[in-house]
Structure formats: C-alpha cells, structure tokens
Amino acid sequence: MKLLYCSRCGDVFNLKLQEKTCSCGETSGSYTGGLNAVFKGKYAKPLGFANNSFVDALKYQPSKPPGRLFTAFVIEKNCETFAHKDKFTRMTASLKKAKSTKKTAKEARKNCDRQIGVVSPLKAGPKYRCKKCDDVIQSKGRHDFVWCKCGAIAVDGGNDYTRLIGRPEDQDCVGENCVPPKPIPPPVRIIKEGSQPR
C-alpha cells in the first residue's frame, strides 16, 4: 500500500480516492484509479508497505515483545504509479508512450506495483462457540485461521469465506452470518495394491 510522509509536520497517512492532506497542509495525495496515485508538496515523501509482510505482521501480532517487523520503504523518485503531481503529466505521457511498446509499460509498472497495491482492511467473519470448551472464536480476515482452546473446532476465512473445522455437533453459531455446518465425509480408506484390506 502507498502512504505519504510530510517532512514538515511529520504526518504519515495512507491514501484514498478522495484527496487527503497532512495536518500542516503542505502534503497531499490521492489514488487516481487502480493502483495509480499522485501526491503534491515539496515536503512530501512517498512511502510503501510491502503488502504481504504487513498483512502477516497484522495477522501474527505477538502478545509478548518483540513486536513483529514488516517491510516499509521510501518509494523511488521515479515511480510511474506514484508520481509527484508536477511531474504527473510528464509521467503519464511517458507511460502512454511506453504503452505503445507493451513490454516497456509492463517493465515500468513492475517494480513499484508488485508490492504496494491496495491492502483492503481486514473484515472479521462470524463467531462460533465450541460446545466442548465454551471458547468463542472468530476469524479476523482472509487467511486468519483460529482454533478454540481445546482444539475441537477452528474457523478460517474472515468475512470473505468461511471454512469450519471440527464436528458439527461441537459447533455453535454465535451472532450472524454463520454458515451451516457441513457433514463430514466418511474417512477414505487407502488400500495398497496387492495388500489385503484389514
């Protein structure tokens, strides 16, 4: 994800489609559609969070020190998708020109886009209570896999999808948006060729 640092007032903020400004008013910026963003001001420094490392750090927030590191960086001066507004027109022109030779346009976008696209906020999924240990569990986002205390049930997927682990009779929906428990398929018996089933 893309952010801005204002070296005058020290503010750091993320970007939205609607223009945002730092508290001293010197630095501002916005997304212009897709992954493209622009910023203004002589004190503005473009920053990026490496999405995967940031999402992982949120997901695996430790309960004890040290805190979890993630990768952040100052974006290079000539990033085609995060440009200073004074240079924006020139940048767009050069990108358009580059588009005529497809490969070049792709190359131009490759470096800054791959890591710093938009990170959607985590959305929590439905809550489930374990009838065995009474623990209430909730997946806080896609890929947030949570077990109950006793390990009888687990849930994954946040608000995007719900994956429930465990026996349906141990699961109790708390609140809304629960998915109905799925019947567990009978265990598959693997019979080796040549050997007798036991």
Q: SS3 for 47?
A: strand
| 9 sits near Zn ion (criterion: CB under 5 A) | yes
What tokens appear for 163 in the block?
Answer: 């994956």
Asked whether position 174 contacts Zn ion by CB under 5 A, the answer is no
- Euclidean distance between CA atoms 98 and 190, whole angstroms: 57
How many residues of this chain bind Zn ion (CB under 5 A)? 13
Q: What share of the chain is helix, strand, coil (3-state, %, to 5)?
A: 20, 25, 55
Q: Please give the backbone phi and psi of residue 102, each rounded to the nearest 5 degrees, phi first.
A: -45, -45
Which of 9, 93, 47 minimizes the C-alpha distance to 39? 47
Stretch that binds Zn ion, among 17-25, 59-67, 117-125, 189-197 (CB under 5 A): 17-25
In this chain, which of 132, 140, 142, 143 binds Zn ion, going by CB under 5 A?
132
Of the candidates 133, 146, 173, 179, which one interacts with Zn ion according to CB under 5 A? Answer: 133
**Of 47-55, 78-86, 124-132, 177-185, which segment contacts Zn ion by CB under 5 A?**
124-132
To Zn ion, the closest distance from the beta carbon of 136 in angstroms equals: 10
Rounded Cα distance, 95 and 98, in Å: 5
The torsion region of residue 90 among left (phi > 0), alpha (psi -120 to 50) and beta comes to alpha
Stretch that binds Zn ion, among 59-67, 89-97, 114-122, 151-159 (CB under 5 A): 151-159
Instruction: Kindly give the pairing relationship between strand 82-84 and strand 36-40.
Output: parallel
Question: Is 155 among the residues that bind Zn ion (CB under 5 A)?
Answer: no
Give the chain's largest Cα–Cα span.
79
Site map for Zn ion, 79-118, x if CB under 5 A?
Answer: ----------------------------------------
Strands 171-174 and 44-49: unpaired
Rule CB under 5 A: is residue 22 a binding residue for Zn ion?
Answer: yes
d(CA 154, CA 138): 9
8 counts as binding Zn ion under rule CB under 5 A: yes
Closer residue to Zn ion (CB): 46 or 112 = 46
Q: Which stretch binds Zn ion (CB under 5 A): 2-10, 29-37, 58-66, 155-163?
A: 2-10
User: Which residues lie near Zn ion (CB under 5 A)?
Assistant: 6, 8-9, 22, 24, 26-27, 130, 132-133, 148, 150, 152
